Structure formats: structure tokens, C-alpha cells
Amino acid sequence: MQSTAPATIPHSGHDRLVLQRGVFLGPSTRVNPDLYVQIEKGSGDRRRHDMTLAKNSFAHTNTYFGRFAASYWQRWTTVGAVTASLRIATSGRVRVRLLASDIAGHRRIVSVQETRSDAVLTFEAPLDKFVDGGALWLEFETFGESAVVDCLEWTHATTVPRRPVAIAICTFNRATDCAHTVAALASDDVVLSLIDTVHVVDQGTDLVQDQPEFADARARMGDTLVYLRQPNLGGAGGFTRGLYEVTASRSGVDVILMDDDILCEPETVLRLSAFANVTAQPTLVGAQMLFLLNPDYLNVGAEEVDFLHLQHGRTVGKALSNKSMIKKNQERRVDAGYNAWWTCLIPSEVVEEIGLPLPMFFQWDDVEYGVRAGRAGFPTVTLPNAAVWHADFYWKDFDDWARYFSTRNSLIVGSLHSDLNTTVLSRMFLRHIAEYVVGMQYGLAHTTLKGIEDWLSGPDHLADGGMAAMARIRADRKEYPETIMHPAATAPVPSAEVRVSRAGGEPSAMRAVLAKRGVDQFLGRTIGGLVGVTREDAHWWHIARFDHVVVTDASQGGVRIRKRDKARGVALMVRAVKVMRRLRREAPALQEQYRAAGAELIARENWARLYGIDADAPTTESVR
């Protein structure tokens, strides 16, 4: 039995807002369909917006994308009740249950209906018992004959029209990935009908517009798709260009910032937009991140920032982290401090009130904007059951040029939104650099120190949006051989001499071990020969025991070669001590400088200067 129904139930007029659709199959074959609907008994055929259940079968949507996140809707929106509507096509008996959970995952039946023929079933559920946690979902059971389930929608009665939503995608030399993302948005007619514009900001040389898939999407999207080219100003410059263009041309348009290299779930756009439409106050609404290489796994339920130690990406207490969403559901409501910009909706009122992001090129720009919005009274909600897939972070090596921006920008954001505790920070940085040095990561130590030194130079180094800093740190790192990744088979070492050394248990007295390893490295009391260390064993306290080490890169794409260099290590530690003295001495004055420069840095005029455009000229609407 096949369904020919549209993906949504036609509603008369505009009296109902579609909050969430029933999606039964993911956007790619790499995605486990059990993230959408699970068939626990019998068999069935899952398609994108409909499902056929064989006779005597049982299925449910108590799944990652199938659940309705009732707790979040009750806490943050004006929706007091939700309606679940669906169509059943059958000649037999079908039972449908609406169920709910609480903070502990205990389930309760809300409503049960049966039909013995084709029917449209409607379930009403008040959102009155979900403040701290819980969700809603449906169960389907067939008896004797098969059935088709389709046109499933979660809706809310409202007279308020849906706000238009624009999408801004920043890309740099990921033309194929970006074209896939745009094509995914173009593939869903309902989602496409909600989108005001899609701004693709191309900052690279491998152009997205040259991709056949992008050309096909452009033909489908027409004037909705806006393609822009500009110099590489990093993620901050690319995403801000989208915000700049959209807010210049219209008011009242929400903007979703979206990475180029994600696996896009188009339904997420609908869910973010609908949620933002009915929040009690303008709210940044973020999608969660699932791992691209392990598509069942959630990165983190919600994140916050620790300003004392300048650490972002901190898991909010009780939030799920690195968990299989096939095996686990997020019952508890957890409140985010900010949302990363792999996919995040920003209401127009937020941009009007707090301005544009800071020109920090890369790293911490999303953190700063979320924190700034929060302090202006605009909360961030990371919405469960709305997600995209993004490259797994633990496949990226920590020893990378990005560490410069992470270090520098963390100090900038800390300066703006906290009083830096330089005693804590100087000790923390000094310890980190000592660990890098004894681990023979001299380039990483330099990268970190350079980030601190550039922060100490004051806000003027942000004048070009970060382009010079990017070029400089990449050039600097070439002077440190261990920053270069080599193919494992052809690395410039005698492979036959490499002997693998496994790490033992983690030491208990880390400070004492660090001091001992430092002395041993200085005096040359290390183990000679060529040693191989796998990624899982690449701890500084293990690697510091040796003279010459071949370490597997986190990407598993090759190896890094570390070799003890006493002179370089001593020079870096002396430099680190001097930099920490400066940090303690100069931080109070520098904080005031960054705070004084903030308004000018985020101004539209400053961004127009960086883009090389006239701030008073018409926007790019005319060059779609």
C-alpha cells in the first residue's frame, strides 16, 4: 500500500502553526532510520514523510527526531496545548496512542484512538506537566491488515503569522559540501516555502557556484538563493555578512546561521523557525549537533562557557554528551548558555538590539554573541529533536593553527564579559605550555603564546578582521617540524626502527610528574631511539619520556614527528614566563581598551569597510 499524500495536512486559512512534522526516514542512507521511527514488532517500510506498517506490527516515534520536546515548548513558548494530527489508510484495525514522559523517563498514556478504516486522527495534549522535563510521542499498532501512516503534524492554534526566516551559509573551499547543504534545503518544498532567502557567502577559491548540484538548486530556488563572494574573513566574517545583508534589507526576519559542511536535516529549519515564532520573548534557537561519522551520537545536549578558565563547550550539568540517541533520550530540560553556529537561529530583534558579531575571524565568535545576547535579556535554547550532523570534533588534532584564535579570542571574550582572573589564567596557561614543551609540541606552545601576545597588543589587531593573523600563524607553524603531518608509510623516519610504546595508567600527581618530565627533558634523561605512539596513548606525560616520537594524528590521516629540542624548549618556557608577567600586569588596562573598542568593532560601518562595500548602498538583493 503506497501513500500519495503531501508531506503536510492542508489547513484552512492560517489558524494553525505547524510546529513539527512527522519524518520517518533521514535525509541520507548513512543515517539510522531508528532516529526517526522504530519498528519493534513485525515489519514496515519507512519513507520520508509516510510509513507502511505490515499487519500485526508495532512502531513508535519515541525517538530522537520523532519526539515532541514538550518540556522546552512549555518552558520557553506561549504554546499551552499541542495537536497531533495524522492520516491512517487501512482496511483493518489500527490503534494509535499518544504518550508522554517526565524528567525521569516514566511514561504515561495521554490518549488512545482506534480506527478500522481510512481516517484522520487528532490528539490534543496540554503542555502543563513538563516544566523540568519530558516529551510527547505516538505509538502505532496494526491488527490483521497493514496500514499507511502519513501527514503527521504537531500544530498549535494561533492567529500570529509565521515569521519569515533567512539562512546564511558561510563557506571556504568546501564547494561540494556547501552545494550538498543548499541542495538539501531545496529538496523540501514545505521548508523552501518558509525561507525568505538563502545567502551563500563564498570566501574561497574553489567556488560553490561551479558545482552542478548548486546550479540545480539555484534553478529550483530562483531569487530565494543569493550568492556572494568576498575575501576570507573567517566564520565570523562569513556569517556576519549574512546577518548584515538580511537585516539591511528587511526587518522582522529571523536568520539561521548554518555551516557549509554539515549533513543538513531540512526539517530542523521548520522546527527552529516554529519555536522562535512562539517564544515568550525573542530567543536564539540552536540546533543540536549529531556526529557525522557516528550519526547516532549526540555531541552535547547544551553548552555553556567557563570564564574563570576561559573554556567554552562546557557541558551543562545533567546534559547528555557523546551518547547514542538510539539508546538514550534527553528527558531533562537543560538550559544553554550559548549555541554554536553549526545551525543557530538569531531573531531580528537581537541584531537590532545588540548589533553584529565581533570580527574575530574564527573561534569564540558564536560564544561571544550568545553571551552578549543573554546579558541583553535574550536567552538561548538548544532545541532537542532539531539537529544537523557535523564532523566529529575528536577527529581533529588539537595541535592546529585554530589554537591561536581559540586562545586569543577567549581572552577577548573574557575581557568583554568578565573580569579576568589573571592569577588563575597565568598559572593555567603556563602549565599548558609546559605540557606542550615536555611533549615536544613546540609549535603548539608558540601558537598559544602568540595568541596571548596578540591579545596583549590591544584591539587594533582586529582592524583587518583577522586575515593577517591567519596568514602569520600558518607561516609561523611551518617553522616547527612537528606541526606537519606526514603519510604514515612515507614519513621521513626509518620505519623499521619504530617500536610502539603503550602508555601506562595516568599518573596521580600530575604537577610532580610535569616537573620531573621537564627536568628529564632538559638534562637529556630520556629514552633514546625511535618510538611510535598511537593517538590514544599520546599523553604528554608518556611522550615526554622519549627523545624522538612518531605520533598518530587525531585525524588518522598520518603521523607527526616530534623530536626533543632543548634550546627551543628553554626559549619557549622563558618566553612563557615573560608573557605571563605581562598578562598579570597589563590585563586590567587591556580589558578597558577592548570594552571601549567593542561598539566600533561590531558597527555596520566597520563590517562594510571589511567587506569593501558602501554601508549606505543598496544590499545585494539586486544581484541574486
Please identify every residue annotated as catalytic.
366
Buried b (16+ CB within 10 A) or exposed e, 196-209: bbbbbbbbbeeebe
Amino acid letter, residue 288: Q
Of 116, 99, 121, 117, give the one whose Cα is nearest residue 108: 99
Name the nearest CA neighbour of 37 among 57, 62, 20. 62
What residues form DSSP beta bridges with 114?
95
DSSP string covering 264-275, please? Answer: --HHHHHHHHHH
Contact call for residues 404 and 473 (beta carbons, < 8 A): yes
Give the three-class secondary structure for 567. Answer: helix
C-alpha cell at 402: 585554530
Query: Which stretches does DSSP call E strand in 206-324?
Result: 225-229, 254-259, 284-291, 297-300, 303-306, 311-315, 321-324
Dist CA 466 CA 460 (whole Å): 11
How far from 594 is each of 351, 383, 425, 598, 600, CA to CA, in Å?
A: 20, 33, 18, 6, 10
3-state secondary structure string, 75-97? HHECCCEEEEEEEEEECCEEEEE
The β-bridge partners of 90 are 147
The DSSP-derived string for 591-623 is HHHHHHHHHHHTSHHHHHHHHTS-TTS--GGGG
